[in-house]
Amino acid sequence: MYKILKKRELNSQVTLMELDAPLIAKKAQAGQFIIFRTDEMGERVPLTIADYDRDKGTITIIFQKVGKSTMQLGLMEEGDSILDVVGPLGVPTHFGEGIKRAAVIGGGVGCAIAYPQAKALHNMGVDVDVIAGFRSKDIVILEDEMRAVASNLYITTDDGTYGTKGFVTNKLQELIDGGANYDVVIAIGPVPMMKFVCAVTKPYNIKTIVSLNPIMIDGTGMCGGCRVTVGGKVKYACVDGPDFDGFEVDFDELMRRNSAYRDDEAESKNHICRLTGGVRHA
């Protein structure tokens, strides 16, 4: 059992939780993730470790309530315990050698994963530009945290209600055109966003790392449910990733595979809202 020590709503859909998980906190590094299962009937769901405190023995997760399991997790309160938390899983991000300047790009709740990357780079003494994109002002998250580790923080909103109007790719293009010599670009967010960031960086051949989010079950390499095609080869995102060279990823295949259970998810989400208001045994 893993106790929820702190809970904070970052916006109406995104929640931050600090969990008591000393063994995971001791080992966690930027780019790694955990798998949680709320209760006995729950499914196993991956979430990135957004932060950790080795001394306190805590890890931080940030999640968007997009379906049944994340909604159920969102209903849990400080003092409640999550049945299972496994980790740290996946390979820590390898930023490469001799990086002086980097752009870290987060899309929506992807900022929760982009933030620890930006922090890790900042702590390495790298000059980090953070580009954080949101649909609109009311869902902006982690602004203060990102500002604290960024040399420059650029917030974009699709509707222009906050920061610059437009997509993260518009801002990235603008910065590249303005002469920003990035040694590496790290993009984390919805698959289409990561795909389009790669389309921007590819002509300049700027090394671009993406953090993939395929469907996972065990997260330890025993099922291949999370397999992705990278450079024409099959990789398991849970053990070989989740970070990969963005220029080599087959994003279209990933998008197709991620939609495999869309109908089932919609049904279970609808079911939980309508019948129980989120409680399993009403």
For 108, which DSSP code?
G
d(CA 25, CA 15): 19
Candidate list 143, 225, 247, 248; residue touching another protein; CB under 8 A: 225
Size of the site for another protein (CB under 8 A): 41
Cβ 49 to another protein, closest distance in Å?
12
Does the annotation flag 251 for ligand binding? no
Residue closer to another protein (CB basis): 49 or 102: 49
Q: Which amino acid is at 161?
A: T
* 231 lies in the binding site for another protein (CB under 8 A): no
Q: What share of the chain is helix, strand, coil (3-state, %, to 5)?
A: 35, 30, 35
Site for another protein in 76-105 (CB under 8 A): 83-89
Which of 50, 44, 41 lies closest to 21, judged by CA?
50
Rg (Cα) of the chain, in Å, rounded?
Answer: 18
- Per-residue x/- track, 127-146, another protein (CB under 8 A): --------------------
d(CA 3, CA 21): 8
- Per-residue x/- track, 5-24, another protein (CB under 8 A): ------------------xx
* 43 lies in the binding site for another protein (CB under 8 A): yes
Cβ 271 to another protein, closest distance in Å?
10
The answer to whether the beta carbons of residues 247 and 221 sit under 8 Å apart is: no
Cβ 89 to another protein, closest distance in Å?
6
d(CA 214, CA 187): 15
Candidate list 81, 239, 247, 248; residue touching another protein; CB under 8 A: 239
* 70 lies in the binding site for another protein (CB under 8 A): no
Does the annotation flag 64 for ligand binding? yes
Burial 30-49 (b: 16+ CB within 10 A, else e): bbbbbbbbbeeebeebbbbb
Candidate list 152, 259, 270, 276; residue touching another protein; CB under 8 A: 259
* 3 lies in the binding site for another protein (CB under 8 A): no
Candidate list 13, 48, 58, 69; residue touching another protein; CB under 8 A: 69
* 277 lies in the binding site for another protein (CB under 8 A): no
d(CA 150, CA 194): 20
Q: What does DSSP say about strands 84-89 and 33-37: parallel, antiparallel, or unpaired? A: antiparallel
Residue closer to another protein (CB basis): 122 or 235: 235
* 42 lies in the binding site for another protein (CB under 8 A): yes
Q: Is 6 helix (H, G, I), strand (E, B) or coil?
A: strand
* 44 lies in the binding site for another protein (CB under 8 A): yes
Cβ 103 to another protein, closest distance in Å?
30
Which of 66, 65, 5, 73 lies closest to 35, judged by CA?
73
Does the annotation flag 62 for ligand binding? yes
The answer to whether the beta carbons of residues 125 and 80 sit under 8 Å apart is: no
Residue closer to another protein (CB basis): 119 or 227: 227
Q: How far apart are the first and last CA of the chain?
A: 22
Q: How many helices (H) and strands (E) does the chain have?
A: 9, 16
List residues binding another protein (CB under 8 A). Answer: 23-24, 27, 37, 41-44, 68-69, 83-89, 217-218, 220-225, 227-229, 234, 239, 250, 252-253, 256-257, 259-261, 264-265, 268
Instruction: Pick out the residues of the known binding site for FAD.
Output: 62-64
